[in-house]
Amino acid sequence: MIVGIDEVGRGAWAGPLVVGAVLLGGAEIEGLTDSKLLAKKRREELDLEIRRVATAIGLGWVSAPHLDKIGLTAALKLASRRALAHIRHDYHEIVIDGTIAFVDDPRVTLMKKADLLVPSVSAASIVAKVARDNYMKHLGAIFPQYKFGSHVGYGTAAHRDAVHIHGLTPLHRRSWASSEVFEPTKTSILTTKQIGDRAESETVRHLLTMGHDIVARNWRTRYCEIDIVSRLGDTIYFTEVKYRKTARQGGGMAAITAKKQRQMTFAAELYASKYNLKNNNLRLAAADVTGQSPMLKEFLEIL
């Protein structure tokens, strides 16, 4: 009755830290090993088998903003406690992959390469990685410019360049921002579209802090386009993002003319009809964003 513990996401630039805890309880699963050594398809197969036969499974999550607030070591301890809280069966040992005890318990054993040697630790590494990868893939649909589904928040040249072009998201760990990891790989001049994408990302960040769920970005048909579709409770918001490089160019809200409002209304009604949103309140909104490093100046519900 050994609980295995392993973490995923420790060195990522974006996304949560996730700790897995698994009590196999004597169940034997062929092919368990360090999750990083497994192909994606095989990890997902093993994840389903672990969930089917294990006595108990726990996952502990710490978001990027919380990790920045308390630090990596404290976040590892918190995520480990959260994962262990789901193990409600008796066990006689806790094996943690590595050399640092993130759990204050006399039953803890530390072991290098435990994710290779101890089946329950291997299982913990697999369920944690599959859960985190799936979460990052979901976020990749909300922030498509960053391709979170491919690098799952880790440091790649493409990820660094995406941050340089589009800015940081609420998923990025600000503790990395003071270092040089987010510097561009090569000098580049941002295009108008790239700056516009940054403005949209800044608006998404604002909506998330307000409690919105982002449903779609840049929804297009041959007739119309909606910059951001979000949900707050039973209300669906259709937000038009207006960007101005400098305040001297005039406020972005000036572009929301009566004609533009009619176009927005048509687009919202078309979206609602396509997705059968009969029981939802529909709201039009506009975001006024300005500056070389886009900042939200005003968010206004139009009607």
| Domains, the chain, ordered by start | 2-142 (3.30.420.10), 189-301 (3.40.1350.10)
DSSP strand pairing (93-97 vs 108-111)? parallel
Please tell me the predicted confidence (pLDDT) of residue 202. Answer: 84
Tokens of 108: 């803890």
Q: Any idea what DSSP says for residue 297?
A: E
Is the Cβ–Cβ distance between 131 and 59 less than 8 Å?
A: yes
pLDDT class of 18 with cuts at 50, 70, 90: very high
Please give the torsion angle defined by the CA atoms of residues 108, 112, 117 and 121, in that order, rounded to the nearest 10 degrees.
50
Across the range 192-196, mean pLDDT stands at 71
Identify the CA nearest to 207 among candidates 226, 188, 228: 228
Is the Cβ–Cβ distance between 202 and 244 less than 8 Å?
A: no
Indicate the average pLDDT of the chain: 88
pLDDT class of 160 with cuts at 50, 70, 90: confident
Identify the CA nearest to 5 among candidates 92, 126, 106: 126
Please tell me the predicted confidence (pLDDT) of residue 189. Answer: 54
Across the range 245-249, mean pLDDT stands at 57
Edge to edge, the sheet with strand 56-62 lists 56-62, 17-23, 2-8, 93-97, 108-111
Residue 70 clears pLDDT 60, i.e. is over it: yes
Tokens of 216: 């779609």
pTM above 0.75, yes or no: no
Identify the CA nearest to 171 among candidates 13, 25, 22: 13
Task: Please return the burial class of 27, using the count of CB atoms within 10 Å of its CB with bins 0-12, 13-18 and 19+.
Answer: middle
Is the Cβ–Cβ distance between 162 and 146 less than 8 Å?
A: yes
Across the range 15-25, mean pLDDT stands at 96
- Please provide the DSSP assignment of 79-106 as one string: HHHHHHTT--S--SEEEEESSS--S--T
Cα(241)–Cα(284) distance, integer angstroms? 11
pLDDT higher at 99 or 19: 19
Residue 152 clears pLDDT 70, i.e. is over it: yes
Residue 149 clears pLDDT 80, i.e. is over it: yes
Residue 187 clears pLDDT 50, i.e. is over it: no
Please tell me the predicted confidence (pLDDT) of residue 247. Answer: 55
Cα(108)–Cα(111) distance, integer angstroms? 10
Is the Cβ–Cβ distance between 176 and 182 less than 8 Å?
A: yes
Is the Cβ–Cβ distance between 46 and 126 less than 8 Å?
A: yes
Q: What percent of the chain has pLDDT over 90?
A: 55
Is the Cβ–Cβ distance between 5 and 19 less than 8 Å?
A: yes
b/e map 68-90, b = 16+ CB within 10 Å: beeeeeebbbbbbbbbbeebeee
Cα(188)–Cα(165) distance, integer angstroms? 9
Please tell me the predicted confidence (pLDDT) of residue 150. Answer: 93
Please tell me the predicted confidence (pLDDT) of residue 183. Answer: 57
- In DSSP terms, 2 is beta-bridged to 93
Residue 248 clears pLDDT 60, i.e. is over it: no
Across the range 274-297, mean pLDDT stands at 85
